[in-house]
Amino acid sequence: MFNLDIVKKLLSILSALTTYSVMAMPAYADTLDPCTDASGIASILCGFTTGKANNIVQNVIIFIIIIAVVIAIIYLLYGGIKWITSGGDKAQVESARNHITAAIVGLIIVFLAIFIISIVLTLFGVKFGDLAIPSLLNGTGGASGTT
């Protein structure tokens, strides 16, 4: 009777054409301001300016670095305590040495990450406090304000 593969292909083509014709609407991005009469969560997002975003990015980076250093130091102390309480057992001393080595490698990686971030920002002529996130809204640093 009907070849099932041909029916599946026809249905998928018909589905794609229907979706394209229904979903493809013109974009009026230059004239549309999503923050006009915004309420609820939208008003909170519209109040989110680039200055606030810059502070959030900086604070998140600093927080991650601080957490990484604290975790590495705790791991280093754990390895030291494990070494002290090993009682001379070679397996426990080796395990403690591995903990200490991993903690030191972790600290080195964190400080290298800080160093690399500062070098990249210096190469681009940007200070860490001057990070700028572009905005799409008119008058806030985006390209749409130039029309």
Mean pLDDT, residues 117-122: 84
C-alpha torsion angle, residues 139, 126, 64, 52 (rounded to 10)? -20
Rounded distance between C-alpha atoms, residue 21 and residue 23, angstroms: 6
Rounded distance between C-alpha atoms, residue 64 and residue 58, angstroms: 10
**Reported confidence tier of residue 39, pLDDT bands at 50, 70, 90:** low
What is the reported pLDDT for 88?
Answer: 85
Report DSSP letters for 1-58, one per residue: ---HHHHHHHHHHHHHHHHHHHH-----TTT--TTTT--THHHHHHT--HHHHHHHHH
Give Cβ neighbours of residue 79 (< 8 Å, ≥ 6 apart): 96, 97, 98, 99, 100, 102, 103
The rounded percent of the chain whose pLDDT value lies above 70 is: 60
pLDDT tens-place string over residues 54-64: 677 777 888 88
End-to-end CA distance of the chain: give it in Å, rounded.
61
Sign of CA dihedral 137, 141, 145, 147: negative
Report the mean per-residue pLDDT for the chain.
Answer: 75
Structure tokens at 47: 């109040």
Give Cβ neighbours of residue 118 (< 8 Å, ≥ 6 apart): 128
pLDDT tens-place string over residues 134-147: 555 554 444 444 44
95 vs 117 pLDDT, higher one: 95
Mean pLDDT, residues 114-119: 87
